[in-house]
């Protein structure tokens, strides 16, 4: 349960975390930027990819597509090529479509109103909140996985209690400091309050934290609570061979000359050459789904399926 947070507790949490952040903040290539386009690119890349892999691609992507206009004018295949290394290619399609809408409907400038942002392709609640804070300085919380975990532990919130989580997050944003505050929570979650074993002894919030108190209590009682909680938080192992195959197909297509079409058998052979063996019927189904999502071009007649890079 989230307590009714007294003002002095809110102030204490804010001061301690911001002081910790001033010394421990991660130096990341998208930090300190004010161009909404550059912030949007980072947020979309970070949605499902770790910071190290994003850092390796981010500046190169911006050098190739420095603005909404440049991205909107690019071919889909060029965008997918620049996206290589990040995975979850559907995000590149959304970002590309988003750039086209921003150019066509907003003159190449990202709108700053929440409703207009929500109408853009591929922008979910988290990305909209992150843009409002990082690009437009609004006092709103940006609740990503790290922030969710930190606040959940801090206030001993029930898992998936979205209402309590949001209430806590909104109460805590310091007026005029949402950028630092949101990034501070994210950094605490990435560096100390990690999914596996939080390093509470180094945390500036330790004596205020429900999780930490619970752990100390459990140790005193000699029970196995901490082990059970750690196991409960461990992510499910990834078993998605379908995702793997989709990624391999996209990688093959983005290196083809524009307009090239492969037969399904040729594609099957190219996949086999990189160790991915797949039945023709399964491959056809993957090809159709990639084409439906704008990640490929598929041409079908009665006898044949051919596939190429997206138009
Ligand atoms: S004391 Fe531990 S569990 Fe609580 S916020 Fe800090 S690192 Fe996370």
Which of ligand 1's atoms lies nearest the C-alpha of 149? Answer: 8
Q: What is the pLDDT of residue 235?
A: 44
Same fold, 7-24+141-233 and 241-308: no
* CATH for 7-24+141-233, options being 1.10.10.10, 3.90.226.10, 1.10.1670.10, 1.10.1040.10: 1.10.1670.10
> Which DSSP string do the residues of 195-242 spell out, in sequence order?
SS---GGG-TTGGG-HHHHHHHHHHHHT-SHHHHHHHHHSPPPP--HH
From the list 12, 43, 217, 279, the catalytic residue is 43
Closest ligand 1 atom to residue 209 Cα is 4
Q: Which atom of ligand 1 is nearest to the CA of 203?
A: 6
State which of 12, 16, 154 you would mutate to test the pocket of ligand 1, scoring each by most atoms of that ligand within 8 A of its C-beta: 154
- Output the CA angle 42-177-200, nearest 5 degrees: 80
The gap from C-alpha 158 to its chain's centroid, in whole angstroms, comes to 23
Domain ranges of the chain: 7-24+141-233, 36-134, 241-308
pLDDT at 237: 33
Nearest to 295 by CA among 80, 99, 85, 123: 80
Phi and psi torsions of 263, nearest 5°:
-75, 160
- Residues framing ligand 1 (Cβ under 6 A): 150, 153-154, 192-193, 198, 200, 203, 205-206, 209, 211-212
Secondary-structure class of domain 36-134 per CATH: mainly alpha
Q: Which residue lies with its CA nearest to atom 4 of ligand 1?
A: 209
Q: What is the pLDDT along the chain (311 residues), one digit of tens a residue?
A: 554 788 999 999 999 999 999 999 999 999 999 999 999 999 999 998 999 999 999 999 999 999 999 999 999 999 999 999 999 999 999 999 999 999 999 999 999 999 999 999 999 999 999 999 999 999 999 999 999 999 999 999 887 889 999 999 999 999 999 999 999 999 999 999 999 889 999 999 999 999 999 888 878 877 554 554 554 554 433 334 788 888 888 989 988 888 889 988 888 888 887 777 788 888 888 888 898 888 999 888 766 788 999 88
**What's the rounded Cα separation, in Å, for the pair 232 and 224?**
13
Select from 50, 64, 55 the least CA-distant residue to 31: 55
Q: For domain 241-308, is the CATH number 3.90.800.10?
A: no
Q: What is the pLDDT of residue 271?
A: 86
User: Which pLDDT value is given to residue 66?
Assistant: 98
Determine the distance separating the centroid of ligand 1 and the alpha carbon of 197, expressed in angstroms: 10
Provide CB contacts within 8 A for 115, sequence distance 6+.
none
Query: CA 145, CA 230: separation in Å to the nearest integer?
Result: 16
pLDDT of residue 233: 52
Closest atom of ligand 1 to 198 CA is 7
Q: How far is the CA of 152 from the centre of ligand 1 (A)?
A: 10
Rounded to whole angstroms, the Cα distance separating 184 from 266 reads 50
Q: For position 240, what pLDDT does the model report?
A: 41
Rounded distance from Cα 167 to ligand 1 centre (Å): 19
pTM for the structure as a whole: 0.78
| CA neighbor of 147 nearest in space, from 249, 291, 17 | 17
Cα 174 to Cα 181: distance, rounded to the nearest angstrom: 7
Query: Catalytic: 43?
Result: yes
CA distance 204 to 187: 13
Ligand 1, residues 147, 205, 207: which to mutate, most atoms within 8 A of Cβ? 205
């Amino acid at each position: 349960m989230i307590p009714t947070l007294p003002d002095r507790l809110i102030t204490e949490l804010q001061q301690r975390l911001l002081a910790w952040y001033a010394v421990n903040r991660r130096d990341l290539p998208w930090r300190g930027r004010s161009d909404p386009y550059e912030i949007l690119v980072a947020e979309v890349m970070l949605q499902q990819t770790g910071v190290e892999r994003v850092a390796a691609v981010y500046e190169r992507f911006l050098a190739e597509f420095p603005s909404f206009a440049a991205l909107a004018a690019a071919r889909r295949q060029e965008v997918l090529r620049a996206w290589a290394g990040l995975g979850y290619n559907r995000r590149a399609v959304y970002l590309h479509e988003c750039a086209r809408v921003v150019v066509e409907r907003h003159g190449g400038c990202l709108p700053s109103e929440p409703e207009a942002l929500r109408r853009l392709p591929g922008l979910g609640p988290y990305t909209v909140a992150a843009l409002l804070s990082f690009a437009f300085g609004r006092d709103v919380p940006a609740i990503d996985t790290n922030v969710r975990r930190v606040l959940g532990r801090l206030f001993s919130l029930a898992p998936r209690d979205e209402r309590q989580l949001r209430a806590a997050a909104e109460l805590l944003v310091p007026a005029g400091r949402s950028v630092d505050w949101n990034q501070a929570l994210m950094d605490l979650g990435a560096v100390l309050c990690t999914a596996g074993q939080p390093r509470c002894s180094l945390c500036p919030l330790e004596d205020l934290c429900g999780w930490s108190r619970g752990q100390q209590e459990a140790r005193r009682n000699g029970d196995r609570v901490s082990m059970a909680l750690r196991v409960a938080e461990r992510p499910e192992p990834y078993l998605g061979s379908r995702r793997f195959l989709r990624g391999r197909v996209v990688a093959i297509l983005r290196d083809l000359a524009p307009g090239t079409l492969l037969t399904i058998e040729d594609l099957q052979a190219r996949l086999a050459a990189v160790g991915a063996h797949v039945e023709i019927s399964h491959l056809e189904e993957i090809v159709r789904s990639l084409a439906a999502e704008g990640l490929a071009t598929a041409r079908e007649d009665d006898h044949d399926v051919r596939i190429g890079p997206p138009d």
